[in-house]
Amino acid sequence: MEELMRIEGLKMYFGGLKAIDGFDLSIYKGETLGIIGPNGAGKTTLFNAICGVYVPTAGKVIFEGKEVQGTPAHEMAKKGISRTFQISKPLSGLTIFDNVVAAAGVHEYTGIRSYFHKAHTKDVEDRAEEVIREVGLAEVANKKASDVSLGYLRRLEIARALITQPKLIMLDEPCAGLSNFAINEITQLILNLKEKGQSIVLIEHNLPITMKVCDRITVLSYGKKIAEGTPEEVRTDKQVIEAYLGEEDD
């Protein structure tokens, strides 16, 4: 299997708080990798440190053979690493359609030169429509993002990430807070992406979903990796059961 991204000794400290404390991980092309761990384990921080929202305190992020740690978030998006936010970040004043169009411009935001290029070209609108249909946003395409429910906002996050045609898509709890019905739909959507060969990293609090969707799972606790392996291996790992699964039985 070909390696797409490798993380070496990654540390992300906030003052004295060691949110990520020496983390290693390899992500392979075409795989779906799950990251699980209790609340506050550092999963979102890990995404932020990889995607350039934060500059890591230490460590390397190697993407397609090149060191990219500390690259600003907007550059990461251009390199083909696209992420969704656990707490949705819609462009509230724009329609769902325009939200997706905005993200389609990932390679167009070149500063002053971007003034001379029209955003709503036929090609861009066609691509936006395709993605909108794929993720199930069609019925709200003309609604303002401020007027749609959480389920749609979660899909919007995925749509915006997808339209950048990422080499790696990183999903931060795309199912959190959704109804079972919506969870099933999102799960199906992720399975469809996987089918197409998309490389995926999925943070998910919901274990059955992670087990169902992921080829491999990494378990994070207090900023450190405590287990890694196939869903079956992780499910039966003693440390995992203590650190994470145990809490579910309370």
Residues in contact with another protein by CB under 8 A are: 51-53, 72-74, 77-78, 82-83, 85, 89-98, 101-103, 105-112, 114-120, 125, 128-129, 132-133, 138-143, 160-161, 164
Residue 43 interacts with ligand ADP (CB under 6 A)? yes
Residue 44 interacts with Mg ion (CB under 5 A)? yes
Residue 202 binding target from ligand ADP, another protein, Mg ion, none, CB below 5 to 8 Å by type: none
Are residues 56 and 18 in contact, defined by beta-carbon separation less than 8 angstroms? no
Query: Which residue bears the tokens 């167009």?
Result: 108
* Residues 81-100 within binding reach of Mg ion (CB under 5 A): 86
* CA-based torsion, 207, 31, 4, 132: positive or negative: negative
The number of beta carbons lying within 10 Å of the beta carbon of residue 113 is 9
Residue 14 binding target from Mg ion, ligand ADP, another protein, none, CB below 5 to 8 Å by type: ligand ADP
Q: Smallest distance from the beta carbon of 34 to Mg ion, in angstroms?
A: 14
Q: Which is nearer to ligand ADP, 40 or 177 (CB)?
A: 40
Cα(first)–Cα(last) distance of the chain, in Å?
A: 39
What is the arrangement of strands in the sheet containing 199-203, beginning at the earlier edge strand? 81-83, 168-172, 199-203, 32-36, 216-221, 224-229
Are residues 51 and 83 in contact, defined by beta-carbon separation less than 8 angstroms? yes
Q: Which is nearer to ligand ADP, 40 or 93 (CB)?
A: 40
Name the site residues for Mg ion (rule: CB under 5 A). 43-44, 86
